[in-house]
Amino acid sequence: MVTGDAAATAAIVAKAVGLQGGVCPPGPLPGNVSPGDFAVFAGILPEGKYQLVKAFQKSGHTVGMCGDGVNDAPALRQAQIGIAVSTATDVAKSAAGVVLTEPGLGGIVAAVKEGRVTFQRILTYTLNSVLKKIVQVLLLAIGLVMTGHAVLTPMLMVILMITGDFLAMALTTDTVRPSQTPNSWQVGKITVAGVILGCSFLAFCTTILAVGKFELRLGIEALRTLSLVAVAFGSQATIYALRDRHHFVGRRPTAWLVGSSLAGVAIVSALAVLGIAMAALPPSLVAGEFIAAVAFGLILNVVKIPIFARLHIA
């Protein structure tokens, strides 16, 4: 708690709301002050609030500042997230990034939770996009070397895009586990994780293609259908594996995500078995690819945990 009131008054209020810890002595703020040093900062001038926010940020913290008056405006602007209460002055509301519309501070908790949930959804979407691009580009190169032909034609690419985009859009409704700490975009680490997981996905698709080429002796048209089904089913497996960063199984997915997933599997399976816009495959072969994708997803669920933990991606 940071206030311009006297230390005695601030200590009484802090005790009433359950804040435990020391009260910063009056006078200039320590140069290396951190949030763990004191629970209450009393007798702070407007410039002191601004300096306190900067000091916390300098020590590596993500700072949220809640205030209501003109004297809070500089600190509200400096903080990563400035929050103005519903009764705040116009100046404070203008300086803040979030303005509460209802009395009380409960909206802060809701905003933080919603922000972290949204971040997790965007992170899943980003990782999914990175690894899908890796697979689609490199699988074309590997398939060209292996078969002498492009294993994904423009028509098959369009089918993959349409069926995959509906599932990706459904991620915006997914139920996720918000992180316990503030999030930040660590682009380098996210890229590394996407490349590692993308290479795993690529290995799965390449294995399916190799089995079709060297074991089943399929022709190029059948190999193209085989590759399409492998990418489509593998994409489903990776999304369910990436939904949670540190647990084997995430929270129960929404009906939109499950429905989009089932629709994508059904459409790709029907096109492959009936031979619509591609060479037909036996139903047993399509079912075998589905089982292989499920097994791949279970393996990826195990592999992802140490990867994300090592890269500190929450």
Q: Classify 23 as helix, strand or coil.
A: strand
DSSP state, residue 171:
G
pLDDT at 58: 87
- Could you tell me the domains of the chain? 7-107 (3.40.50.1000), 114-311 (1.20.1110.10)
pLDDT at 93: 93
Return the ∠ at Cα 249 (arms to 245 and 251), rounded to 5°.
90
Question: Is 272 within 8 Å of 225 (Cβ atoms)?
Answer: yes
pLDDT at 285: 95
Question: Is 297 within 8 Å of 265 (Cβ atoms)?
Answer: no
Across the strands, what pairs with 98? 83
DSSP string, 112-133: HHHHHHHHHHHHHHHHHHHHHH
Name residue, tokens 């009131």: 5
pLDDT at 62: 86
pLDDT at 223: 94
User: Among 269, 268, 256, which residue's Cα sits nearest to residue 158?
Assistant: 268
The first and second tokens of residue 119, run together, are: 């971040």
pLDDT in single tens digits along all 314 residues of the chain: 888 888 888 888 888 888 888 888 777 777 778 887 888 888 888 888 898 899 888 888 889 999 988 889 999 999 999 999 988 999 999 999 999 988 888 888 888 888 899 999 999 888 888 888 888 889 989 999 998 898 989 999 999 888 888 888 888 888 888 888 878 888 889 989 999 999 999 999 999 999 999 999 999 999 999 999 999 999 999 988 888 888 877 788 889 999 999 999 999 999 999 999 999 999 999 999 999 999 999 999 999 999 988 988 87
The first and second tokens of residue 44, run together, are: 């702070």
